[in-house]
Amino acid sequence: MAAKNTDKTTKKKAQARNTSIEFNWEDIAPEWATEGIERINSEFEKLTDELQSRADELQNRGEKFRKESRKRIEKNVKQAQKELRKVPAIKRAEEFRSEFEKNVEKNIDAGVDRVYSGLKLARIDEVKKLEKKIAQLNKKLRTLEKAQAA
């Protein structure tokens, strides 16, 4: 039991010594060790800079690749559309779409005309024509008034 107590007190004394001593590497480091650490830090900074520049380069390459890929894809899509337009069924479908759009537009205009005539309103294009005629008549009237005044 006395041996155990002695071991415990020895450990406590060692711990007390370790905690009371402040260890500062710069105070006790030899010059060669400090120089070595500085060289390691310098090399580390160089490698970090090189790694960053390579990462930037890879990012630029990736952006360039995306742009070029997008251009190639757009070119291929245009080429595919051009080739598809040559297919007779596609040609007929485009003609049908064009005719359908014209018919829809014509029907809408006819419906609008019926609504305006039913409400006894003038369409905007008719109003614009009338405004132009009124402007022309006003000019003629001014010239006549000037001629009479003179």
Are residues 142 and 110 located together in one domain of the fold?
Answer: no
| pTM of the model as a whole | 0.37
**pLDDT tens, position by position, 35-83:** 888 889 999 999 999 999 999 999 999 999 999 999 999 999 999 988 8
CA angle, residues 82, 86, 88, in degrees to nearest 5: 145
Domain count, the chain: 3
**Count of CA atoms in the C-beta half-sphere (13 A) of 78:** 6
25 within a domain of the structure (yes/no) = no
DSSP 87: S
135 within a domain of the structure (yes/no) = yes
Are residues 67 and 92 located together in one domain of the fold?
Answer: no
Q: What share of the chain is helix, strand, coil (3-state, %, to 5)?
A: 90, 0, 10
pLDDT score recorded for residue 90? 85
Domain span holding position 53 = 43-85
78 within a domain of the structure (yes/no) = yes
**pLDDT tens, position by position, 77-119:** 999 988 888 888 888 988 999 999 999 999 998 888 888 788 8
End-to-end CA distance of the chain: 141
8 within a domain of the structure (yes/no) = no
pLDDT score recorded for residue 5? 56
Longest dimension (CA), the chain: 142
φ, ψ at 119 (rounded to 5°): -90, 0
Are residues 49 and 81 located together in one domain of the fold?
Answer: yes
